[in-house]
Structure 1
Amino acid sequence: MKNALINVEVHAGIATVFLNRPEKRNAMSDDMRTEFIRVLEDIAADNTIRALVLTGNGKGFCAGGDVAGMQRRMDAPAGEVAMNGWSRQQRVHHAVALLHTMPKPTIAAVNGAASGLGADTAMSCDFIVASDAATFTWSYINRGLIPDGGGMYFLPRRIGLPKAKELIFSGRTVKAEEALALGIADRTTSPDALLSDAQQWARELSAGSGTALALGKTILNQTFELTATEAFAQGSQAQGICYTSTEHRESVKAFLAKMADKKTASSTEHKQQS
Structure 2
Amino acid sequence: MNYEYIDLRINEGVALLFLNRPSKHNALNDQIRHELLNALESITNDEKIYAVILSGNGASFCAGGDIEAMAKRLDLPAGEVAIKGWKRHQEIQRVITLIHNMPKPVIAAVNGPAFGLGADLALACDFIIGSANALFCWSYIDRAVIPDGGGMYFLPRRVGMSLAKDLIFSGRRIKSEEAMEMGVIDRYSEPSDLLENAERWANTFRGTAKPAFMLSKCIVNKSLESSLEDIFAQSNMALGICLSSLEHRTSVENFLNK
Scaled by the length of structure 1, what TM-score is found?
Answer: 0.92
Segments of structure 2 that go 5 or more residues without pairing to the other structure are none
Query: Structure 2: which amino acid aligns with 1:254?
Result: N
Query: Structure 1: which amino acid aligns with 2:205?
Result: L
* Amino-acid identity (%): 51
Name the counterpart of 1:144.
Answer: 144
Query: Structure 1: which amino acid aligns with 2:225?
Result: E
Name the counterpart of 1:21.
Answer: 21
Name the counterpart of 2:247.
Answer: 247
CA shift digits 1:3-37 (9 cap, x unpaired): 62111111121100010000000001111011101
Correspondence list, 1:197-208, <5 A: 197-208=197-208
**1:104 and 1:206 in contact (8 A); partners too:** no
> Compared with structure 1, are the counterparts of its residues 177 and 230 closer, same or farther at alpha carbon in structure 2 (3 Å cutoff)?
same
**What is the CA RMSD across the aligned residues, in angstroms?**
1.1
Q: Is 2:239 aligned against 1:218? A: no
What secondary structure, in the 3-state scheme, does the structure 1 residue paired with 2:74 have? helix
Instruction: Kindly state the Cα deviation for residue 227 of structure 1 after the two structures are TM-superposed.
Output: 1.1
Instruction: Kindly state the Cα deviation for residue 79 of structure 1 after the two structures are TM-superposed.
Output: 1.2
Instruction: Kindly state the Cα deviation for residue 72 of structure 1 after the two structures are TM-superposed.
Output: 2.6
Answer with 54-63 or 243-252: which moved more.
Answer: 243-252
What secondary structure, in the 3-state scheme, does the structure 1 residue paired with 2:225 have? coil
Cα distance in 2 between the residues matched to 1:68 and 1:98? 26
* Structure 1 stretches of at least 4 aligned residues deviating more than 3 Å after TM superposition: none
What secondary structure, in the 3-state scheme, does the structure 2 residue paired with 1:121 have? helix
Instruction: Kindly state the Cα deviation for residue 257 of structure 1 after the two structures are TM-superposed.
Output: 1.8
Cα distance in 1 between the residues matched to 2:108 and 2:240? 32
Name the counterpart of 2:181.
Answer: 181
Name the counterpart of 1:263.
Answer: none
Cα distance in 1 between the residues matched to 2:67 and 2:182? 30
What secondary structure, in the 3-state scheme, does the structure 2 residue paired with 1:72 have? helix
Number of aligned residue pairs: give it. 258
**2:138 and 2:168 in contact (8 A); partners too:** yes
Scaled by the length of structure 2, what TM-score is found?
Answer: 0.98
Query: Structure 2: which amino acid aligns with 1:155?
Result: L
Instruction: Kindly state the Cα deviation for residue 205 of structure 1 after the two structures are TM-superposed.
Output: 3.1
Name the counterpart of 2:48.
Answer: 48
Instruction: Kindly state the Cα deviation for residue 182 of structure 1 after the two structures are TM-superposed.
Output: 0.2
Instruction: Kindly state the Cα deviation for residue 68 of structure 1 after the two structures are TM-superposed.
Output: 3.0
Correspondence list, 1:186-197, <5 A: 186-197=186-197
Instruction: Kindly state the Cα deviation for residue 210 of structure 1 after the two structures are TM-superposed.
Output: 1.3
**2:52 and 2:106 in contact (8 A); partners too:** yes
Segments of structure 1 that go 5 or more residues without pairing to the other structure are 259-274
Structure with greater Cα Rg: 1
**1:103 and 1:213 in contact (8 A); partners too:** yes
CA shift digits 1:112-147 (9 cap, x unpaired): 000000000000000000000110000100010111
> Compared with structure 1, are the counterparts of its residues 206 and 222 closer, same or farther at alpha carbon in structure 2 (3 Å cutoff)?
farther
CA shift digits 1:213-247 (9 cap, x unpaired): 11100100000011111111111111111111111
